[in-house]
Amino acid sequence: MTAVAGRTQPKSRRSGIGSVLLRLLPWRSAVHELWAGTKLICLTVLILVALVFPGWPAAAILTCIVLATAVAARVPLSAVPRIHPIVTITLLIGAVASFFGNGLAYYLQSLLISATLLALGILVGWTTALREVAPALVSLGAPLRRLGLPVNEWAVACALCMRTVPLLFDEFRILMAARRLRPPFEPRGAGRLGLLHDRAEELIDLLSAVLAVSIRRASELGTAMRLRGGVPELKPGPLQLRPGDVMTFTVTALGTGAIVIATIILPAGWGV
């Protein structure tokens, strides 16, 4: 507890990744002003290039892009989600196993690329309003509409998925809170195997409850949409490429080009 102006206030703690995912940062920045389609295109291109040309060049360049984007978006350190101890322990176990298997470099390489791609996705969620995503998807999918593909339905499905992700995390919190109110856990099995079996059963019960709640929520959402006339017809968003969008495309093109060239010309030991 810290005292501020004679009053006692709790210390601020960083939240987990579930509480910050798809949460718009409440201020404006150069990244906020970008068109949603620009961010989606650049994110998709970087993901594809990292998957096709993995290696230390991709990890280094993606790290630089993440840091530059975070600075341009004015992301404070307090917004960075904390890593759960179980995740940290799992990653350390994987590092130790990779070390004894002579694959530590590849493990760290894959871990860094995965972390940077996840960070880019979170940055897009932090700087993009959810109401801007569906119109941008409709605009980007306009050429596919001529082929008879259900672009509008895909955009609505993506928008609904993104809007319901925070609700899903809220349901997880409610179920975990209800679990804490239950009587203390009494193992029914004998020994470590019995305790592990009981823990697995408890985890299955929790996942079953989450699945049941998700199905109920989806049914209620579908009923509400049907009563309001079904799937709404989305209109393409305005395509306004500003200097910031052009600069973002340029940086993405230079970054992907550098990844491809560096991966090709560097010795084989630098790649996967």
Are 152 and 158 in contact, with CB atoms under 8 Å apart?
no
What pLDDT, in 10s, does the model give residues 60-82? 999 999 999 999 988 887 777 77
Q: Is the pLDDT of residue 206 over 80?
A: no
What pLDDT, in 10s, does the model give residues 83-102? 778 878 888 888 888 878 77
Q: Is the pLDDT of residue 242 over 80?
A: yes
Q: Taking the model in full, what pTM does it have?
A: 0.72
Confidence band (pLDDT; 50, 70, 90) for 191? low
Radius of gyration of the chain (CA): 23
- CB neighbour list of residue 135: distance below 8 Å, 6 or more residues apart: 36, 155, 234, 235, 236, 237
What pLDDT, in 10s, does the model give residues 131-175? 888 888 888 887 887 787 888 878 887 877 777 777 777 777 777
What pLDDT does 173 receive? 76
Mean of per-residue pLDDT scores for the chain: 78
Q: Buried (b) or exposed (e) across 195-219, using 16+ Cβ within 10 A?
A: eeeeeeeeeeeeeebeeebeeeeee
Distance CA 113, CA 50 (A): 7
Are 94 and 107 in contact, with CB atoms under 8 Å apart?
yes
